[in-house]
Amino acid sequence: ETGVTQTPRHLVMGMTNKKSLKCEQHLGHNAMYWYKQSAKKPLELMFVYNFKEQTENNSVPSRFSPECPNSSHLFLHLHTLQPEDSALYLCASSQSTLAGGVYEQYFGPGTRLTVT
Amino acid sequence: DAKTTQPNSMESNEEEPVHLPCNHSTISGTDYIHWYRQLPSQGPEYVIHGLTSNVNNRMASLAIAEDRKSSTLILHRATLRDAAVYYCILRDGFGGGGADGLTFGKGTHLIIQP
C-alpha cells in the first residue's frame, strides 16, 4: 500500500466513449503525475501538476485531458480514444517545493485500459 | 536528460547478493542517481538514491563510482520477492521545483531462481 489509489483498476471502453480515471493520494504531497505504460515500451510521462497547476504536458494528444481540482486528487478524462491508447495508466505523487529539490515518487497500482 | 544504460536482464539465485550495474557517462554535477523497481502487476516503487557517496537503506545499497559515471545497486540477499524490473534514473537536483517527471528506460529485468 503506497498511499496512492487509482480507480477503476480495469476499464474497457469503445472508441466513442467518454470515461475518466481517478487518482487519490493520502500522503500530503503537492505534486501529482500521470504516466502511460504500453506493452513493450518504457514508462512515459504524460502530465505533471505542482500545487494544482499543470507544469508539464509531454506532447500528449488532446483526447487525454487531465484535471487536478486539489492537491489530493487527479483525474484523466478520456474521449474518442484509439486502440493504440490501450495501456496501463499510472498515477504518482511526490513532495515538492517551489525552490527545487529531488523527492521520490509514490505510484498507484495503475488502471489497465483497453480500447475496443 | 542524461541517459543511463543497463543490461536487459540478469539472473541470480535466492539468498545470494545481486549487483545491478548502471552506466551514466554523461551525468552532470547536479544529477542525482535514483533507482526504482517495478514488481509484476504493480506500479514502480522507489528503492534508493544518491549523489556522490555510497548510500544504504533497508531495501538496498547504492555504490557510486568515484567519477560518477557508473553506479551499482546492491541487493544483499535476494529473495523471490525481489524479482522485478529495476530502473536507474538520473534526476536534476535543481529541476522542476522537485516536481519533475521521471524518465524511464527499459531497465533490468531481474530473475531470481529458487
**Angle in degrees, CA A66, B4, B25, rounded to 5:** 135
Average per-residue pLDDT for chain B: 93
CB A85, CB A113: distance < 8 Å: yes
A51: left (phi over 0), alpha (psi -120 to 50) or beta: left
CB < 8 Å to B93, chain A: 100-102
Binary contact (A102, B98; C-beta < 8 A): yes
CB proximity list for A37: less than 8 A, separation 6 or greater = A43, A44, A87, A88, A89, A90, A110
What is the mean predicted confidence (pLDDT) over B75-80?
96
Taking the C-alpha atoms of residue A49 and residue A22, their distance in angstroms, rounded to an integer, is 14
Q: Is the pLDDT of residue B56 over 90?
A: yes
pLDDT for residue B98: 66
Å between A110 CA and nearest CA of chain B: 6
Binary contact (B49, A102; C-beta < 8 A): yes
Secondary structure of residue A66 in the 3-state scheme = strand
Binary contact (B104, A48; C-beta < 8 A): no
What is the mean predicted confidence (pLDDT) over A86-115?
90
Taking the C-alpha atoms of residue B86 and residue B74, their distance in angstroms, rounded to an integer, is 11
Q: Is the pLDDT of residue A80 over 90?
A: yes
Q: What is the pLDDT of residues B12-32, one digit of tens each?
A: 999 999 999 999 999 999 899
Binary contact (B95, A100; C-beta < 8 A): yes
